Structure 1
Amino acid sequence: MIKVFRKIRQDLLSEGKTGKYLKYAFGEILLVVIGILIALQLNVSRENHSNQKKLNKYLSLLVEDLEKDKSSLLECIEFDSIKNQLLNQYIDSGNLKLSSETIKYAARWRNFLIHKSTYNSIQSSNILELLDNIELQNSISEYYAFAEQVNNYENTHLNTQMSNFTNEILKRKRINLLYYKDNTNIELTAEEDSIFYGYFTHIRDIAALEVRNYNKLKEELDNLSVLIKMELK
């Protein structure tokens, strides 16, 4: 093809047809420019397709992580709801007795597990920059920021209080929770009742707060999942 164009130019010059030569040269330049623009457009299209494929892959993995988060949240909501109910029963009863079930729930806790390996990869590789949906970008960042906040609250407050309570009640009642299967009520002295009443009231309040935090986080999780699935359509 190049040889053909060269021959045409040489023929026009040899025949002294300068005007036609200039028109031909301009047309040839125009064809080259058009070819370059087409090639650039194809490269951009291929790059956009590759980026969209990469983005969809990470978003799909993010949905899987959110499903795991939701499972963990539901377990925490169920556990703390039961704990709150059992502790309320003891607090409201006015009796110097504890059920073994109350002891078990009061001395244990559930931690929300954040599955954020995909989110960490998205951050490190700047994948969010490929996302044009600003609302979705913000929702992803806000969800994981709030999830960290919920998790930090557990670690800095709940676990410390639970650990103190666990040590206290195990020491006073000599209970081994790993092997404790007695379903009868545990008798408390007046002194123990006054001590445990304070612990239980505090733990009950924490459990109620945790349930509210978990439900709020679950709501954000559900909204985020909907936005991601809409983006993947």
Structure 2
Amino acid sequence: MINLFRKIRQKLLADLPASKAGNRVTRYLVYALGEIILVVIGILIALQLNIQKEENKEKKVIEQLLKGIQADLKLEVERIDFLQAYYGDITNGIQQILLNYQGKESNTNQELGQYFLNTFEFRKFSKFNTNYQTFYGSGLLQEIEDKTLSEEIITYYSKQFLEWSLEIYQQKASSFDFNDAPEFNPLDKLQRGANYQFIPNFRLDVGDFYTTDFKEFIKEPQVLNFLVDLLHQSELVFNNLKTYQETNLTLSKRIQKYLDQ
């Protein structure tokens, strides 16, 4: 393009009369002006190409980070699936204990003991947000063309209702005082696995039998109140897991739709 402008300029110079000194000055001025214009045009073209190059590079980085968020969301779904099954079992176990108390079910003492001790186990949940933190910290999150999508991503990672409900469950499960429950035999607490931790990553390993008579144990008001309170919280956790999973899948689909454009 610059060569084309240069040829046009040379043609115009050639067409100027060369017989007079004034025309020679004009010729030089036109030549100088032409050179300046060519330099400016060259700079503008170079700037435009550089801008396009940077925009393409930025677009690729955004796409990679969005794919990273999708991968994180997939990992979260796997964790949520586990927690749904886990807290679903706890909820069902507490309901089973209460049905025994009401005389509507009849479980063995071993089954009731397992249901009861399961309530003291809990699992936490943390978002897989490494890619989001990188995205947000780089400032590129605001550069997504679909501003609604960037807002949805920020909202998703800002909500903590699931984490809070799990924290509350942990607090409630840890609040039960065995010392104030005379019907509970302390030896039953010692039948857990040798590697038992306060926040275990495995099921409790109990003995083949319990010394505690759980059918009598659950009749104590403080035990009954504890179980009812924990049941409400476990149901809240279970519902939050379901809501969180739906939000997770919706966001993943929105990201995929944006990437497919």
Q: TM-score range by the shorter chain?
A: 0.7 to 0.9
Indicate yes or no: 2:158 matched with 1:151.
Answer: no
* Distance of aligned partners of 1:73 and 1:189 in 2 relative to their CA distance in 1, 3 Å threshold: closer
Match of 2:200 in 1: none
How far, CA to CA, are the matches of 1:181 and 1:232 in structure 2?
54
Higher helix share: 1
1:177 alignment partner in structure 2: 192
After TM superposition, give the deviation of residue 149 of structure 1 in Å.
3.1
User: Which one of the candidate residues 156, 159, 165 is aligned to 2:176?
Assistant: 165
CA contact (8 A) 2:183 2:216 kept: no
> Who is 1:220 aligned against?
247
For normalisation by structure 2, the TM-score amounts to 0.74
Contact 1:100–1:185 at 8 Å: present in 2 too? no
Residue 49 of structure 1 is matched in structure 2 by 56
Q: Matched residues in 2 for 1:210 and 1:13: separation?
A: 91
Provide the residue aligned with 2:125 in structure 1. Answer: 112
Aligned to 2:137: 124
CA distance in 1, matches of 2:121, 2:67: 35
* SS of alignment partner, residue 152 of structure 1: helix
SS in 2 for 1:113: coil
Mapped pair 1:199 → 2:226: yes
Residue by residue over 1:25-56, the C-alpha shift from the partner in whole angstroms, topping out at 9 and shown as x without a partner, is 44433332322221111010111011111111
Quick one: which amino acid aligns to residue 119 of structure 2?
A: A
Native 8 Å contact 2:90 2:119 kept in 1:
yes
Structure 2 residue corresponding to 1:90, chosen from 97, 111, 121:
97
Which residue of 2 is the match for residue 70 of structure 1?
77
Unaligned runs of 5+ in 1: none
The one-letter code matched in structure 1 to 2:146 is N
Range that drifts further, 91-100 or 117-126: 91-100
Number of corresponding residues: 228
Segment of structure 1 superposing worse, 19-28 or 131-140: 19-28
Work out which structure has the larger RCO, using CA pairs closer than 8 Å and 6 or more positions apart in sequence. 1
The Cα of 1:167 is off from its aligned counterpart by 5.1
TM-score (norm 1): 0.82
1:37 to 41, 44, 48: 44
Q: Distance in 2 between matches of 1:53 and 1:153?
A: 38
Counterpart of 1:58 in structure 2 is 65
SS of equivalent to 1:91:
helix
Partner of 1:229: 256
- The structure with the largest alpha-carbon Rg is 2
Contact 2:65 / 2:135 at 8 angstroms: preserved in 1? Answer: yes
* Aligned-pair Cα RMSD in Å: 3.4
Conserved 8 A contact 1:80-1:210: yes
Deviations 1:103-124 (A, max 9, x none): 2421211212321122222222
